[in-house]
Every structure is written in structure tokens, then in C-alpha cells.
Chains A and B, each alone.
Chain A
């Protein structure tokens, strides 16, 4: 049973006089525990697709269902709650709140949900521990390296036990070694928690450990390939 399903999704952007079709009739189902890479050249629509899956943008046409609920029928507040409870985000530029420590950043999704501070703190500590950031929990983001910041972001994305973590180019601002490490870490968490991960990249070298590759070109899925599940 897919928990996320997209049917004939189109997304247009209006740029002055011209209308750009960023996605052109995308069909896509995601199931629990998948580890998916969306790849393709710059401008092919990876970010657009990630934003739609993450419920932070709306398609121009087509159907999008998340956990059986029709995307277009949800109010902004309902979508916010859905994101808070079921979707984790990892961004290209990490997007940690600069005035909050690593721990406080990770606590955020729980506090938005209304979890008590004590519980939020405990869960956030565990989540950071899993990312091997035990010593850095009280550091502000600017005191952390890019790789460390992105691990904090992953801890934050996972702290609420979401259905899915969406990472749009999570490695674009990292060197190849750290990029590797981030993808491996996500893969490990995918194996451990069965959380679905979708990340986008234009770096083909990062595709070797994924379970599924979605190849986008000009807003169309040109290839959707399941790979033999390799044990982690």
C-alpha cells in the first residue's frame, strides 16, 4: 500500500509572459521503507517534485494523496500538522535556526507539536546521539562543520518519527567524503527505522546504495528503477 501517491502531476511556473512546465504528468507511488534517489540534470524538476511530496507546494493539476488524504482538500493548518507529524525535511543549506543550539534545533518539531520540554529534550538527545553528535548538542550551528550541521538536520527530521524524510540536494554543499557519509547515515536510519527517504541529487556517484532510482528529465520520469535490496 503506497502512503504517498501522485497521479498525472503537472506543475507550471509563470515567468513573465512564458509558462514553464517544471513537471509534466508525473506518476509516482511511495511505500513505507523505501530509499529513493531522484536524479537528473539541473532544472529537470527535482526540487519541484520534492516540494510537492513534502506538502510545501501545490501541483497545478493532478492528484496527490498522502496517507489517503487528498492534498488539495487540506487546509494550510492541516498541511502544517501533516508535515509536523509525518514529514521530515533536510535542506541543501542545512537551514538550522542560527540562534538555537543543536539540541534546541532538534527539539523544534516536537515543540511545534506541543510535546513537553522534558520529553522533547530526551528524544532530541537520543536523535542526536544516533547521529553521533553527542558532544555537540549545546553548540550553535555556526560552531559546527557543514557535515555536522547536516547531521543535526537529519536528527531534526527524524525526531518526530515521520513516515518520510525528504532531502532536496542534501549533499550539494558538502565535500564528497561528507556527502557519502550523509547518504550512508540516511541509509542506516532507513534500515533501522524503516522510515522512507527521498533525496535528490545530480551526482550519480551517490546512487549506488539506493533501493530505487527515479531519473527525471525535463519534468518527466524517464526511468523508475527498483534495485535489488542490498543488506546494510
Chain B
């Protein structure tokens, strides 16, 4: 084994130019996959954190059964009563994996600045709960400034937030007074005064001229109800999402609650779409890297075999079996794959470090302002591509080496 390794390494060193190009091809391929993979990981993580923490949607959302299917037309039919909300809250809090359980109520209606009015789509949240959920965000999302102005507070139910487009449309600013109007669940028209505490950016551009965020008390007063239409659950860890969901489905059913649970992934259609898109782009890059690595290793090994045909004949005459020849070249290209991947790890760190130092920023889709662009180091990707590229190098060597091993010994020795 040591002898074959010696032959392999010394030949790699001997043909250092050629070896260098192969190693670089593998290394660049490795770095391309891992830097891009690290970028997609940043995108996925940001979208996930943005949905769960910044937008305060939590990991799980509990609805009255039927709300998602038929509730669009008749939301009042599918509300969670105060008693149900209390029961759900109690059941959830027994689980140590649960951090926050908080009800929400979506509202729609008209908003007026006194002279003109327009429609709004709003959500009533418990301000202290929302603040806590947002405070759990880490990384880039945790550092984002989500609004201009003051925080909403439990004590001031009429202090609300408007999306920037809506505020502009009605010429409302921080501290401005406005009126919200809407039918209650009983069908009477209701109107409430409110004060603009903050102006925020809508996570969805199309909705930027419509959004309103209010304390839950305000939303419930406007609708004249004590019910909520959903309950958001924040967990201590992202990866508990599915197990907790299954567990809750069982205990809610046992408690006779007629509810359904959705994970953040079920509800974040945007996340799933972006992830699908990036997965396809990743696949493209992966295929390109695959082809480049296979081609350069096949090329290198084929050249080595051509130059060393007589050597192959000699080794066969000395008694080396066919698979011994294949092994010899497989070892050689596995060394190339190994060095290439190691250099690739270095390149990946360099790429990661450059992004860290340069701190590029960009305006991603559906976020209306500049955010830092990051590349994450993903040990899982790095380990898998390490093993994969070495295996790929070995496999690419086997075909040409097998062909050489099957050649007649006398031919290989170079008949004179």
C-alpha cells in the first residue's frame, strides 16, 4: 500500500503543473458549491428567522378547524373563543419546549385621517409578546431595524403601527391621529380613534399601502369580541417544530379542542418557493462542478496512463493484477481529490472571510431596504462535498484505468 501511495504521490509531484490544474479545478468546484451553499443557507435562515421572529409568526400556528379552508369568506364562524384560547395556552405552557403562546386577530376595515380614507388589512397582537418573540431573533434578522418610531405597548391599546405606504397615502406620521372603521362581528359599524406609534416596512411589497398593526385589545374592541382567530406558538428550538406539532395535535384532540396546527413552513409559501428556486440553482452549479471535476480528473488520469503505459506493462509482467493497476491510479486520483478538497476548504474560508470583511449589502426580493449579504459556513455541506469529491475523483479514474489494465501486456510494454 505504501509503495502504491509513494508511486502516486511522486507522480503527482513530478507532473506538478498538470496536478496543480486538476487540484485547482477540484478546489474551485468545492469552493463554488460551498460558498454558494453558504449563501443559500444565509437566505434560508434569514427568511426563516424573518418569518418566525421578525414578523412574529412563531413556529406553530393554531387555528379553529376549517378556518384555513373556509374562513376567508366567513372568518367569524371560525374564531377561537376566550375560553378556548385560555385552554390552549394552558396546555401549551406545560411543554418545556414552548416559550410563548400568543393570540392574534386579523382585522380589515377603513382607515381615515379625517379627510380621506382607504382600506386597511391589520393584525392585532399582544405587544409585549411580539416584542419578546422579536427579541429571540439571532443573526442578521436580529439586527434589523423593523420600524421607525416607538414600540407598541400593552398599556396603550390605541397606539398602532402603519406600513410606510399606507402612512404616506394618508399623510400620517408618528404621533398623528387617525380613525379605524369596521363592522363588528355582530354586523354593526364601529369606529375607534388611534395614534400612529410607528411606521414599518411591509414584508410584502404589494401590501405596503394597506398594513396596520395594533395591540390585540384594539383589534378585539373594533370587532367587539374577546375571541382570536389564531394562536401563535414560539418554541425554544427550530428543530422541535414537527415533534411539538404532533404532540400538540394529540393533546388538543384529547382535550376535545376542534383545532388544526400549521408549522411555519406550511404558512410561509414565500420561503418554500425561494428554497425551491435556490435548490434548482444549486443543482445547476452542482452539475457544472461535477462535470468539470470529472472531466479534469479523467483527462489527467488518461494522460498519466498514456505516458506510463510501459510502466503498466512492466508492473503487470512483475505480477500486478489488473485490479492492482486500477488501484494504483485510483489512489493517485484520490490523492488529487483529497488535496483538491483541502485546498477547496481553504478557498471556502477565504470566500467566507472576504464576504465578512467587505460586508457587501443588497436589497433582496420582498425586503424594501438594504441588508448585509452573508455567506454561512455549513459544516454539513462541507463534509458531504469533501467525501463526494474524493469519491468522484476515484470513480473518474477507474474507467480509464480499467481500460489500461485490460490492454495486452506485450502491447503495453511497447513491442519492438
A: residues with CB less than 8 A from B are: 47, 51, 54, 56-57, 76-77, 80-85, 89, 91-93, 95, 97-100, 104, 107-109, 111-113, 117, 156
Using a CB-CB cutoff of 8 Å, which residues 299-328 of chain B contact chain A? 310-311, 313-322, 324
Q: Which residue of B lies closest to A88 (CB)?
A: B318
Is B280 interfacial (CB-CB < 8 Å)?
no
State the majority secondary structure of interface residues on B: helix
Query: Which of A51, A84, A100, A117 has a CB less than 8 Å from the CB of B319?
Result: A84
With A47-B416, A80-B319, A83-B319 known as contacts, the answer to whether A95 contacts B310 (CB < 8 A) is yes
Is B190 interfacial (CB-CB < 8 Å)?
no
Chain B residues, Cβ within 8 Å of A47: 415-416
Chain B residues, Cβ within 8 Å of A156: 318
Docked Cα-Cα span, A111 to B1, in Å, equals 8
30 contacts between A and B (CB under 8 A): A54-B317, A56-B409, A56-B410, A56-B413, A57-B409, A76-B321, A76-B322, A77-B321, A80-B320, A80-B321, A81-B319, A81-B321, A83-B318, A84-B318, A85-B319, A89-B317, A89-B318, A91-B413, A93-B310, A95-B311, A95-B314, A95-B413, A97-B311, A99-B11, A100-B3, A100-B7, A104-B3, A107-B3, A108-B315, A112-B324
CB distance from B210 to the nearest CB of A (A): 74
**Central interface residue in B3, B6, B311, by most chain A CB within 10 Å:** B3
Q: Are A56 and B316 in contact (CB under 8 A)?
A: yes
Q: Are A117 and B2 in contact (CB under 8 A)?
A: yes
Chain B residues, Cβ within 8 Å of A97: 7, 311, 314-315
Q: Are B3 and A109 in contact (CB under 8 A)?
A: no
State the majority secondary structure of interface residues on A: helix
Chain B residues, Cβ within 8 Å of A98: 311
Is B93 interfacial (CB-CB < 8 Å)?
no
Chain A residues, Cβ within 8 Å of B408: 57
Chain A residues, Cβ within 8 Å of B316: 56, 80
Q: Which 7 A-B pairs have the closest CB atoms?
A: A84-B319, A99-B10, A56-B409, A95-B314, A83-B319, A80-B321, A111-B3
Chain B residues, Cβ within 8 Å of A117: 2
B: residues with CB less than 8 A from A are: 2-3, 6-7, 10-11, 14, 310-311, 313-322, 324, 408-410, 413, 415-416
Task: Given contact pairs A108-B315, A112-B320, enumerate 13 new A-B contacts (beta carbons under 8 Å).
Answer: A57-B409, A81-B319, A81-B321, A82-B319, A83-B317, A84-B318, A89-B318, A92-B416, A100-B6, A100-B10, A107-B3, A108-B318, A109-B318
Docked Cα-Cα span, A82 to B319, in Å, equals 7
Docked Cα-Cα span, A65 to B314, in Å, equals 23
Docked Cα-Cα span, A156 to B7, in Å, equals 17
Q: Which residue of A lies closest to B415 (CB)?
A: A47
Q: Are B410 and A57 in contact (CB under 8 A)?
A: yes
Chain B residues, Cβ within 8 Å of A91: 314, 413
Chain B residues, Cβ within 8 Å of A80: 316, 319-322
Docked Cα-Cα span, A97 to B316, in Å, equals 12
Chain B residues, Cβ within 8 Å of A95: 310-311, 313-314, 413
Chain A residues, Cβ within 8 Å of B317: 54, 56, 83, 89
Docked Cα-Cα span, A82 to B7, in Å, equals 24
CB distance from A174 to the nearest CB of B (A): 15
Docked Cα-Cα span, A93 to B7, in Å, equals 20
Q: Are A113 and B319 in contact (CB under 8 A)?
A: yes
Docked Cα-Cα span, A55 to B2, in Å, equals 28
Q: Which residue of A lies closest to B2 (CB)?
A: A117
CB distance from B155 to the nearest CB of A (A): 82
Q: Which residue of B lies closest to A58 (CB)?
A: B408
**Central interface residue in A47, A85, A95, by most chain B CB within 10 Å:** A95
CB distance from A52 to the nearest CB of B (A): 10
Q: Are B14 and A99 in contact (CB under 8 A)?
A: yes
Q: Which residue of A lies closest to B10 (CB)?
A: A99
CB distance from A144 to the nearest CB of B (A): 16
Chain B residues, Cβ within 8 Å of A92: 416
CB distance from B324 to the nearest CB of A (A): 7
Query: Which of B2, B319, B409 has a CB less than 8 Å from the CB of A112?
Result: B319
CB distance from B329 to the nearest CB of A (A): 14
CB distance from B2 to the nearest CB of A (A): 6
CB distance from B1 to the nearest CB of A (A): 9
Q: Which residue of A lies closest to B414 (CB)?
A: A93
Q: Which residue of A lies closest to B7 (CB)?
A: A99
Docked Cα-Cα span, A92 to B313, in Å, equals 13
CB distance from A2 to the nearest CB of B (A): 22
Q: Which residue of A lies closest to B324 (CB)?
A: A112
Chain A residues, Cβ within 8 Å of B413: 56, 91, 95
With A83-B317, A89-B317 known as contacts, the answer to whether A108 contacts B3 (CB < 8 A) is yes
